[in-house]
């Protein structure tokens, strides 16, 4: 094979043997060279916003299915876990609550996982996986279990990130309730925006149960019967909370509409109680 195209989207590529980092690669070819030198090792490659050319090189080096290549290139995938031959493919939607704008920022992360490698691909600034890598590198006994540990901890990281988002949503709903019954004129737009964000969050949450079930049944999780337990529990709690928030948003919207209609019917300028 000729010289490899310079893959600029690689942000880190570590080779791990017995849970400890033994080498750092800068290209996919180097990665395979190190894996040959360390037969018991695995590679964790992190990529951010890969170009089509980068994905082409990734596909050639890892012999990926054309269908899988199409999924990698196309962002805005639904959360899922699928298997393409010897490679598992995970898609997750991360969420971050921004206090300054009181909005939810969504991100997307993909993971390719095999017996001796995991490749994480971010199509957005969030989630930042550098902290996850540092955390696992500090626990060699955990990281020694291989790519499946990285995969499950990635899932845990994304799911744990939903908790502060739900707290932010609950605070927004409380503020909207105060504005509705205080007669604020701009509240309809805020209700609509929050309702859309809650719907987007539910779309990220709903597939998680199926993802956990699929992972438990997948060969990559052999000898890991309790995998994803915390993610499953957290996703159930968060999904329930998001449904509750959605219902509250709907009630507040209806309350505002009914209150305004009554005022117009009666000719009053104040809002009547609902």
pLDDT of residue 167: 94
Q: Is 54 helix (H, G, I), strand (E, B) or coil?
A: helix
Phi-psi region of 35 (alpha: psi -120 to 50; beta: other; left: phi over 0): alpha
Whether residue 211 contacts residue 79, with contact meaning beta carbons closer than 8 Å, is answered with: yes
pLDDT of 234 > 80? The answer is: no
CA distance 151 to 161: 16
pLDDT in tens, 125-145: 888 899 999 999 999 999 999
What is the reported pTM?
0.80
Comparing CA positions, the residue from 121, 119, 148 lying closest to residue 136 is 148
The contacts of residue 66 (CB under 8 Å, 6+ apart) are none
pLDDT of residue 263: 35
* 25-33: Cβ within 8 A, 24+ apart: 28/4, 28/57, 28/58, 28/61, 28/62, 29/1, 29/4, 29/61, 31/61, 31/117, 32/61
Longest dimension (CA), the chain: 83
Q: How confident is the model at residue 251 (pLDDT cuts 50, 70, 90)?
A: low
Whether residue 134 contacts residue 14, with contact meaning beta carbons closer than 8 Å, is answered with: no
- Pairwise pLDDT comparison (237 vs 205), residue with the higher score: 205
Lowest mean per-residue pLDDT among 41-55, 121-135, 238-252 = 238-252
pLDDT in tens, 152-174: 999 999 999 999 999 999 999 99
pLDDT of 246 > 80? The answer is: no
pLDDT in tens, 23-33: 999 999 999 99
Helices (H), the chain: 28-37, 52-62, 66-73, 130-137, 140-143, 147-160, 162-182, 187-205, 208-217, 229-266
Q: Is 27 helix (H, G, I), strand (E, B) or coil?
A: coil
Query: Exposure of 211 by Cβ count < 10 A (0-12 exposed, 13-18 middle, 19+ buried)?
Result: buried
pLDDT of residue 248: 56
pLDDT in tens, 56-78: 999 999 999 999 998 898 878 89
- Mean pLDDT, the chain, rounded, equals 83
């Amino acid at each position: 094979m000729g010289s490899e195209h310079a893959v600029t989207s690689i942000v880190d590529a570590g080779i791990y043997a017995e849970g400890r980092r033994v080498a750092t690669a800068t290209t996919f070819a180097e990665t395979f060279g190190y894996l040959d030198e360390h037969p018991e090792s695995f590679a964790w490659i992190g990529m951010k916003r890969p170009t089509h050319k980068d994905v082409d090189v990734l596909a050639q080096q890892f012999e990926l299915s054309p269908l899988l290549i199409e999924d990698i290139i196309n962002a805005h995938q639904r959360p899922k876990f699928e298997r393409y031959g010897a490679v598992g493919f995970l898609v997750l939607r991360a969420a971050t609550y921004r206090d300054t704008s009181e909005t939810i920022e969504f991100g997307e992360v993909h993971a390719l996982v095999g017996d001796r490698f995991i490749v994480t691909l971010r199509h957005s600034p969030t989630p930042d996986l550098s902290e996850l890598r540092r955390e696992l590198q500090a626990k060699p006994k955990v990281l020694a279990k291989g790519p499946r540990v990285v995969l499950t901890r990635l899932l845990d990281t994304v799911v744990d990130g939903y908790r502060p988002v739900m707290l932010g949503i609950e605070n927004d709903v409380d503020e909207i309730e105060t504005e509705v019954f205080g007669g604020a004129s701009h509240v309809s737009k805020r209700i609509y925006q929050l309702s859309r964000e809650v719907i987007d969050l539910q779309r990220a949450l709903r597939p998680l149960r199926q993802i956990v079930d699929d992972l438990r049944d997948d060969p990559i999780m052999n000898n890991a019967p309790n995998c994803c337990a915390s993610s499953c529990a957290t996703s159930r709690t968060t999904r329930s909370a998001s449904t509750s928030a959605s219902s509250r948003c709907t009630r507040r919207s209806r309350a505002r509409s009914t209150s305004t209609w009554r005022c117009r019917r009666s000719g009053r300028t104040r809002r009547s109680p609902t």
